[in-house]
Amino acid sequence: DQQVKQNSPSLSVQEGRISILNCDYTNSMFDYFLWYKKYPAEGPTFLISISSIKDKNEDGRFTVFLNKSAKHLSLHIVPSQPGDSAVYFCAASASGGYQKVTFGTGTKLQVIP
């Protein structure tokens, strides 16, 4: 049973527009969420995270929104750039002790010039 779901396997966006990547989770114990970005032939790299005590975290062009009641988070990229084309993984964990990170299946973003 997948506890972290990314229902859109792929997304295409025009350069300069907003990219919105979505993620849903089922485990109510999750209280820390991360986004990783992965280019082909490279390992995932950390992008941005958010704790459940917040509903928004912003870092430059990247903003993550958390809706705890809906168990939903989203990553907004504004403006999108061709270099943002990659696979984006949503991940979640429950704090307290040794809690592993659970990953989603990823969404492949293509930003069209």
Partner 1 sequence: ETGVTQTPRHLVMGMTNKKSLKCEQHLGHNAMYWYKQSAKKPLELMFVYSLEERVENNSVPSRFSPECPNSSHLFLHLHTLQPEDSALYLCASSQDMAAWGTDTQYFGPGTRLTVL
- Residues in touch with partner 1 (CB under 8 A): 2, 4, 9, 32, 34, 36, 41-46, 49, 51, 89, 93-95, 98-106
Distance CA 66, CA 55 (A): 5
Query: Does residue 64 contact residue 47 with C-beta atoms inside 8 Å?
Result: no
Q: Least CB distance from residue 71 to partner 1, whole Å? A: 17
Give least dist CB 80 to partner 1, A: 23
- For 48-74, give the DSSP string: EEEETT-SEEEETTEEEEEETTTTEEE
Task: State CA 52 to chain mean position distance.
Answer: 14
Q: Which is nearer to partner 1, 41 or 70 (CB)?
A: 41
Nearer Cβ to partner 1, position 79 or 102?
Answer: 102
State the nearest-atom distance from the C-beta of 76 to partner 1, in Å: 21
CB of 6 to partner 1, least distance (A): 9
In a 13 Å sphere around the CA of 41, the CA atoms on its Cβ side amount to 0
Which CB sits closer to partner 1, 12 or 51? 51
